[in-house]
Copies of this chain bind each other. A is one copy, B any other.
């Protein structure tokens, strides 16, 4: 299994989009997609609507998400998930997918360099609160702009019951003066994370070397680019104006790993 040409294509499960010209949009799936692309592994995407995720993964012999549970503690099936026909493994949760790919394909470029697993965990832990306010826009935006009708209904109900703790995606969406307040919160969060790199004079999270940490940022950026639209003022602001254009540059620097067919 040292040559990609000898490998059977892996399967990546992802959420489809109804938006013209947009394929992959989910920030967490993008982390796995970047990982597969960066390692140069062959794979094909199976697009799954939200209400079909559990049955699809169960049928593929996959376990539930090993990290996250439903609010009531019961297991939950989530994407990204991959099935690797070369080993028979099914892995969900983007960091665990990266760990699996590094372990199974050590001759391909490394996603989590030796000794940085705990740092990656810490970075993910610090990342979430910094971008959390963006959920207030993202829930409704996802439902309205990206999801097909069956997923739309399912997604609104699921988010109301987990992330939003009883609040509807419409009510969570910032209104009036709140819009600028929430954008400022997101900008501040991204600025804080930009300084992690800036203090070291770093281009990527590890300096000159790409790692999974960069795909954490890039997944969030891809989502915003796809949900708001490449020509939107929101995306231009984020990609060009924030942090000296660092975030737009990051996506450009990762462009060769952007495949999402």
Contact = CB atoms under 8 A, between A and B. Distances in A.
A7 interface: no
A118 B200 CA distance: 7
Interface of A is mostly: helix
Most interface-central of A192, A200, A206, A213 (chain B CB within 10 A):
A200
A113 B206 CA distance: 10
Interface string A173-209: 0000000000000000000110111011010011101
Given A125-B126, A125-B196, A126-B125, A116 B117 contact: no
A71 interface: no
Contacts of A59: none
Interface string A137-162: 00000000000000000000000000
A195 B121 contact: yes
Interface string A204-221: 011101000100000000
B117 A202 contact: yes
15 contacts: A114-B207, A115-B206, A117-B199, A117-B202, A118-B199, A118-B207, A121-B195, A121-B199, A121-B200, A123-B123, A123-B126, A125-B126, A125-B130, A125-B192, A126-B126
Interface in A66-119: 113-119
Interface string A1-12: 000000000000
Given A113-B115, A114-B207, A117-B202, 14 more contacts: A116-B119, A117-B196, A117-B207, A118-B199, A118-B202, A118-B206, A119-B119, A119-B120, A119-B122, A119-B196, A121-B196, A121-B200, A122-B196, A129-B129
Nearest to A127: B122
Contacts of A209: 115
Closest 10 CB pairs of A and B: A117-B200, A119-B119, A126-B126, A121-B196, A115-B206, A125-B126, A122-B123, A118-B196, A115-B207, A122-B126
Contacts of A205: 118-119
A71 to B, nearest CB: 17
Contacts of A195: 121
A119 B123 contact: yes
A106 to B, nearest CB: 15
Most interface-central of A123, A125, A209 (chain B CB within 10 A):
A125
